[in-house]
Amino acid sequence: MKLSEPRRGPFRHSWPLAARLSASAAVLCAAILLVAGFALTTLYRNTAERSFDERLYVYLKEIVATISQEPPGKLSEAGNFGEPRFDLPLSGWYWQVDKVDVPGPSVGGSNSLVGARLQLLPQSPIEDLRGERREGYVEGPDEQKLRIVQRTIDFGDEGRFRIAIAARAEEIDAELRRFDFTLVTAFALLFAALMATTLAQVRFGLRPLSRLSREVQAIRRGDADTLKGDFPRDIAPLAQEINLLLTANRNILERARTRVGNLAHALKTPLAVIMNEFRNLPDAPIDKLAEQTTIMRDQISWHLDRARTAALTGAPVGATPVAPVIAEIARAFEKIHPARRLAILADGSEDLRFRGERQDLQEMVGNLLDNAGKWSSADVRIAARRLAEPSAGAPPRLAVTVDDDGPGLPEAARAEVMRRGMRLDETKPGSGLGLSIVTDIATQYGGKLTLGTSPLGGLRAEVVLPAA
């Protein structure tokens, strides 16, 4: 049964570190500003309501003063208490006085009520006796939302009266809307300033990591051997460990090369001695012995080359310029195959670099040119070019193409000829290991060798390799 992959959260593992820090800072800043905005809005609403209530209590005190000086029945003659809206019908500003201990209609009310009554806030008998103040919202005449304050006052022989003052709550709402607009604008500007500061801090803080990445890329391209320069205290141990790892891998690689070379000499020398000794013996099967010894030598060379290439796998490698290697192999080709014309086609090859060891590139190019020289009639062509990246983020690639004008190979025989030791024509010199060695080395680097039809009429061999 196949296990399903765990779901990834919003912070995917592939997110860049700068994006993760910026996104987390944006979320935290937005959350803090939202909480602060809600708290400030609530606080300002309470402040605006208290300020509005104090205005209403001023009129309540004037009514109390009027009742204490004149009979309650003359409240309607007392005027509007300095607020003209108390006289305008359904203006949204109202006052009302009720006698608590005598049921019945109100003692008095503002002309703006037009005979209607205010809906009072519920008040307990204890609050009535204490004369506590009450504030809140009620629905008034014409379905108006009102802010109301009320209080019960004991006037002694005159009795106890409940006095209520109400005004439209739109004034509070309008003031809150203005405050909210100002607050949102200020917080938006503050959020932008915080994010700009955060991005600058992230960029400045991650600059050493960017420099570390460039140093590692320089090592991968072969422009440097170790990480150089001073790093912050937090990153310096990482840079030191990378340098130690590079040194250790380089030492392992050198030891592997040394041991491979020693093994090659240790095996090839006894074989040469055996061949020389048998040549001096009478009636010895020299031809058969030479054939088998040559096969042994080629097999040893092939396996040693494979071991040397495998030792490079996973090790940091440098960058090898392609053009000098091709020029060097071309000079050797002209000496080995003087009757062949070699054309070198350059497509930006001066800047083209192979991400690998120089010896491996020499061996691949040498085997391809040697194979073309053996089978061509007159012309051989070699070209090196950079391949277009197949997709975003894909590693760069280069291709080395060798064409000849020989008889070529049918498609069915192309796979066979790349097999180890396979020779389709025994009349040609060689061991049949050249193309298989190229295939093996290219595979070790993540590349491949393909055979096709050449524009010259013969065989085209193209090896694709990683570029630096």
Reported as a single tens digit per residue, the pLDDT across 3-31 is: 444 455 554 556 778 888 888 899 999 99
Q: Whole domain around residue 286: which residue ranges?
A: 237-312
Cβ-based burial of 122 (10 A; exposed 0-12, middle 13-18, buried ≥19)? exposed
State both tokens at 27.
Answer: 């979320």
Q: 326 and 308, same structural domain?
A: no
**Closest Cα to residue 406, out of 367, 450, 452, 459?**
459
Give the DSSP H or E segment for 108: strand 108-109
What's the whole-number mean pLDDT along residues 355-375? 87
Using the 3D structure, point to which of 268, 295, 312 is the last residue of a domain: 312
Report if residue 20 sits inside a domain. yes
The CA-atom distances, in angstroms, between 261 and each of 55, 253, 300, 365, 467 are 101, 12, 12, 21, 27
Lookup result for tokens 């003692």: 107
Q: 426 and 279, same structural domain?
A: no
CB contact at 8 A, 89 and 111: yes
CB contact at 8 A, 222 and 354: no
Q: 160 and 82, same structural domain?
A: yes
Question: What pTM was estimated for this model as a whole?
Answer: 0.51
CB contact at 8 A, 153 and 64: yes
How many other C-beta atoms can be found within 10 angstroms of the C-beta atom of residue 241? 11
CB contact at 8 A, 342 and 333: yes
Q: What is the pLDDT of residue 374?
A: 85
The string of pLDDT tens digits covering residues 392-416 is: 567 788 999 999 998 888 877 777 7
State both tokens at 18.
Answer: 């700068």
| Spatial separation of the C-alpha atoms in residues 466 and 449, rounded to whole Å | 13
State both tokens at 14.
Answer: 């592939």
Which of the four pLDDT bands, split at 50, 70 and 90, describes residue 189?
A: very high
Q: 265 and 333, same structural domain?
A: no
Report if residue 210 sits inside a domain. no
Report if residue 390 sits inside a domain. yes
Q: 385 and 266, same structural domain?
A: no
Report if residue 11 sits inside a domain. no
Scored b (16 or more CB within 10 A) or e, 326-343 reads: beebbeebeeebeebebe
Q: What is the pLDDT of residue 421?
A: 45
Q: 345 and 301, same structural domain?
A: no
Which of the four pLDDT bands, split at 50, 70 and 90, describes residue 41?
A: very high
| High-pLDDT (> 90) share of the chain, % | 21
Q: Does the pLDDT at position 80 exceed 60?
A: yes
| Spatial separation of the C-alpha atoms in residues 404 and 428, rounded to whole Å | 16
Classify residue 3 by its DSSP letter. Answer: P
Helix 17-69 vs helix 170-205: angle between axes, to the nearest 10 degrees?
A: 160
Using the 3D structure, point to which of 270, 289, 312 is the last residue of a domain: 312
State both tokens at 220.
Answer: 């991968």
Q: 384 and 297, same structural domain?
A: no
Q: What is the pLDDT of residue 173?
A: 92
Report if residue 212 sits inside a domain. no
Report if residue 232 sits inside a domain. no
SS3 381: strand
Q: What is the number of domains present in the chain?
A: 3
The string of pLDDT tens digits covering residues 141-167 is: 888 899 999 998 887 777 788 889 999
The CA-atom distances, in angstroms, between 329 and each of 88, 130, 405 are 108, 111, 19
In sequence order, what DSSP letters do the residues of 113-126 get, joined into one string?
GTT----PPP--HH
- The larger pLDDT score, comparing residue 425 to residue 452, is at 452
| Spatial separation of the C-alpha atoms in residues 318 and 219, rounded to whole Å | 7
Which of the four pLDDT bands, split at 50, 70 and 90, describes residue 2?
A: very low
Q: Does the pLDDT at position 43 exceed 60?
A: yes
Give the DSSP H or E segment for 342: strand 341-346
Strands 379-387 and 397-404: antiparallel
| Spatial separation of the C-alpha atoms in residues 316 and 357, rounded to whole Å | 10
HEC letters along 397-451: EEEEEEEECCCCCCHHHHHHHCCCCCCCCCCCCCCCCHHHHHHHHHHHCCCEEEE
Report if residue 259 sits inside a domain. yes
What's the whole-number mean pLDDT along residues 184-210? 90
What's the whole-number mean pLDDT along residues 372-387? 88
Strand order in the sheet with 134-139: 108-109, 94-99, 160-168, 145-154, 134-139
What's the whole-number mean pLDDT along residues 190-210? 89
For the chain, what is the largest distance between any 2 Cα atoms, rounded to a whole number of angstroms?
Answer: 156
CB contact at 8 A, 94 and 145: no
Report if residue 89 sits inside a domain. yes
Q: 68 and 154, same structural domain?
A: yes
Q: Does the pLDDT at position 321 exceed 80?
A: yes
Q: What is the pLDDT of residue 428?
A: 47
Q: What is the pLDDT of residue 291?
A: 65
Question: Which range has highest mean pLDDT (29-33, 85-89, 348-352)?
Answer: 29-33
SS3 221: helix
Beta bridge partners of 151: 163
| Spatial separation of the C-alpha atoms in residues 423 and 432, rounded to whole Å | 5
Q: 302 and 267, same structural domain?
A: yes
Using the 3D structure, point to which of 266, 295, 312 is the last residue of a domain: 312
Q: What is the pLDDT of residue 179?
A: 94
Q: 325 and 402, same structural domain?
A: yes
What's the whole-number mean pLDDT along residues 414-427? 55
Q: 282 and 173, same structural domain?
A: no
Q: 269 and 397, same structural domain?
A: no
What's the whole-number mean pLDDT along residues 39-65? 91
CB contact at 8 A, 171 and 153: no
CATH of residue 358: 3.30.565.10
| Spatial separation of the C-alpha atoms in residues 363 and 345, rounded to whole Å | 19
The string of pLDDT tens digits covering residues 213-272 is: 888 887 777 677 788 878 888 788 888 888 888 888 877 777 776 676 666 666 666 666
Q: What is the pLDDT of residue 420?
A: 47
